[in-house]
Amino acid sequence: MHTYSTQEIRVQNGDLRIYGIAYVPDTDGKMPLVIFSHELGNDHSSGVRYAERLAEAGYAAYVFDFCGGTVGGNRSDGSNKGMSILTEASDLTAVLESAKSWDFVDPGKIVLLGGSMGGLVTTVVGSTHQDEIAGMILMYPALSAKVDGGMEKYPTKDDVPEDISLFGGWVHVGKNYITDLWDVDFDRLLSSYQGHMLLLHGDRDNTVPISWSEHAKEIIPDCEFYVIKNGGHEFFGQPFEDAMTYILPYLDAQLKSEKTESEETDTMLQMKIGNTEVSVDWEENESVEALKELCRDGSLTISMSMYGGFEQVGSIGQSLPRNDRQTTTQAGDIVLYSGNQIVVFYGSNSWAYTRLGHITDKSAQEMAELLGGGDVTITIG
């Protein structure tokens, strides 16, 4: 797990200034960047949990406030009455262009991530700037925006009133919110995207029915679509953890680059659960270094036992250096317990552990299938 720092970065878009925060892993050189676009009514803070997790995984992330489109707390210029999908697309385009020049960003490895209205904006910008991005992730995209805005009530653009009340008056927007949606063809944009796209939607979304994403997956040429169990409109708790089990492997596949010979040597530890090979992002700490040394003369085989309905635990046979910290684990986490036991999680628990790594190529469901059916043996070497 990487440590990271944050820095406020403001981006100019014409006469308006956009406020945002970059989460930058404490590593040298240029790195991939994920730009998060927030939901209607929210602000940059809705992307912070994603940015933190991404930075810990070694990806820089940037969260920002659109110029309008929030309910309180907006630190960018602009107002709700002036915002629309096209003004927000202009904001995201300005951020994308600016990010290419940031000293910590690899301009060839920028991925767009958006939720709800931010997912629509990501669709517009990603589809029209395909050569400038390395991937696109949509979460519960607001493809129902035209219906939600009541566009069918207005025979022409001239009939649209100056004030539009959305979601029972929760947020008020201006006329151009509807008129700018009028001519945007989301099906055409989605079907035109030639890259590999990740699409996530919760099965308990009462704001944007999942049927909108089920339709989208059929018209996107190369779409990886997952339903997030118990996920609503936004992901919190376990649905958030489940979403990250899809987001991180997607990023790894889209952004992976050739490693140097020294890097390959430094990350030679491989792991199997039974006969299944798994990809692990190992921590950079004394415990993992000691584990590598232990495996230098041959693979380490550990008999594991199920415990608590969320983990498998097994004795290493000797003690390793430890730096226990109170930790809330997620499916795929690998930790050291009491200095001499390795624990692999297919659920979540809070305890004092030393982190060893995280399995990046298995979802929470796949981890449960690997570990939840009985005692297993793991091999590290």
Closest CA to 277 of 152, 370, 184, 356: 370
Domain total of the chain = 2
Q: What is the mean pLDDT of residues 55-66?
A: 96
| 3-state SS, residue 219 | helix
Surface-to-core class of residue 167, CB atoms within 10 Å of its CB (0-12 exposed, 13-18 middle, 19+ buried) = exposed
Structural domain range at position 13: 4-255
Q: In sequence order, what DSSP letters do the residues of 313-337 get, joined into one string?
A: EEE-SS------EEEE--TTEEEEE
Whether 168 shows a pLDDT value over 80: the answer reads no
Whether 27 shows a pLDDT value over 60: the answer reads yes
Residues 297 and 354 in one domain: yes
**Tokens encoding 231:** 């996920």
Alpha carbon distances (Å) from 207 to 39, 148, 202, 204: 12, 9, 10, 9
The CATH number given to whatever domain includes residue 217 is 3.40.50.1820
Domain ends where: 223, 255, 287?
A: 255
pLDDT digits (tens, 9 = 90+) for 112-163: 999 999 999 999 999 999 999 999 999 999 999 999 888 888 999 999 999 8
Sign of CA dihedral 201, 132, 10, 7: positive
Residues 200 and 153 in one domain: yes
The CATH number given to whatever domain includes residue 270 is 2.40.100.20
User: What pLDDT shows up at residue 7?
Assistant: 97
Residues 174 and 270 in one domain: no
pLDDT digits (tens, 9 = 90+) for 272-283: 999 999 999 999
